[in-house]
Amino acid sequence: MPRAGLGPATVIAAGADLADEVGFDALTMGLLAERLGVRTPSLYRHVESLDALRRGIALQAKRELGDEAARAAVGRAGPDAVHAFADAYRRWARDHPGRYTASLRAPAAGDEEDRRVSDESVRALFAVVAGFGLHDDDAVDAARALRSAMHGFASLESAGAFGLPRDVDRSYHALIDTLVSGLRAGSPRSAGT
């Protein structure tokens, strides 16, 4: 029997693809093995466990999502950059439902690599926010606000939570617009409230 020529990277990549098809939670070692033309136990030569596989997919997804959104904002500034970033974020989430779910996994306590990758993916967002002249606490608030909004919207949308007929694209645009307007208002935030 000729060998399949697998490796950790191949297995994780195939797992990510499969997760997009059947859902991150429905991903099973048996299913993935079948997809790769191999018997289930053989996968354990390349990944330590199902949990390790999930972690690998999560890391890959975080990197991909971060890169994709960051790339979209390159060469743009201000509101334009935010919209490009936000649109790319949502599109990626929609196009890769399994990976997106994976990307939401919080790093396990003590998992330095995962924490680093997760932080990394936020850096691009900070860069975009910095274009508004926000600093320190205001920049953190703004980045958190944008991240919450993008994640919340994408997550509700992928869960099918928006039942009403109103155009979802427009609602998203309106949300991002509102936040952008808030950013423009400058930093009257750090004082009061």
Partner DNA sequence: GCTTTTAGCTAATCACATTAGCTTCTGTCC
Partner DNA sequence: GGACAGAAGCTAATGTGATTAGCTAAAAGC
Smallest distance, Å, CB 105 to DNA? 16
- Single residue of 31, 38, 105, 131 touching its own copies by CB under 8 A: 105
Query: How far apart, in whole angstroms, are the C-alpha atoms of residue 145 and residue 174?
Result: 14
Which residues, 6 or more positions from 66, have their beta carbon under 8 angstroms from its beta carbon? Answer: 120, 121, 122, 123, 124
Is 44 a binding residue for DNA by CB under 7 A? The answer is yes
Binding mask 80-109 for DNA (x = CB under 7 A): ------------------------------
Q: Contacts with its own copies in 164-193 (CB under 8 A)?
A: 164, 166, 170-171, 173-175, 177-179, 181-183, 185, 189, 193
Smallest distance, Å, CB 50 to its own copies? 13
Smallest distance, Å, CB 39 to DNA? 3
Please report how many Cα atoms fall inside a 13 Å half-sphere around the Cα of residue 76, on the Cβ side: 19
The secondary structure of the chain in percent helix, strand, coil, rounded to multiples of 5, reads: 70, 0, 30
| 23 conformational bin, left if phi > 0, alpha if psi -120 to 50, beta if neither | left
- Single residue of 41, 75, 165, 192 touching DNA by CB under 7 A: 41
